[in-house]
Amino acid sequence: MGYFHLDKRTYGWVFAFLSVAFIVLSQLNSLLLRKYKSEQIVKVALSAQLIVATIFFIGELAGWVGLGATILLLFLFLFFLGFTYPNAAALSLAPFDKNAGTASALLGFFQLGVGALASVAVSVFSNGTAMPMVAVIAVSSVLAVAVLAIGQGNLATRLSGKDLSTR
């Protein structure tokens, strides 16, 4: 609000647009699951998310990103997050058939914890620009791709033969 000098109403509209975009676009995931596996979707979505985050970071660093570009880049990031989140959650919980409730609770705990850490990082590094937020988006995207790369071999072994399209 302060950085782009948005009044409460305009900020509310931007927030609502991005929220609705995330929710609506995440619903497209079920359509994609009819044709592609969760593993395929999450790889493409995370890669695209990393590209968007990199463009956002470089653009913000160079001073090329204004309000319109920020909204567009956040929209694109949330677009791919709408595909990443449900598939990553399904893949994370897939090995835990017998303890699915506990695994789901632990996943929720980690999500809230990472969200809190991201919020703290943005606050601690606040400098009156969008850079702390953009940097957290970029770092989280890099970490997500790294976690996928590290866990991919283990996941393939544990999921052999499981169909995740019904989860």
Per-residue pLDDT of the chain (167 residues), as tens digits, is 788 889 999 999 999 999 888 888 788 888 999 999 998 999 999 999 999 999 999 999 999 999 999 999 999 999 999 889 889 888 888 888 888 899 999 999 998 999 999 999 999 999 989 999 999 999 999 999 998 888 776 655 555 555 555 44
Name the residue among 150, 23, 43 with its Cα closest to residue 51.
43
Which pTM was predicted? 0.84
Q: Using the structure block, give the residue that is written with the tokens 């975009």.
A: 21
- For 8-159, which CATH class? mainly alpha
Cα gap 161→156, rounded to integer Å: 9
Give the Å distances, CA to CA, from 104 to 69, 73, 94, 134, 160: 35, 30, 10, 28, 21
In the chain, where the domains are located? 8-159
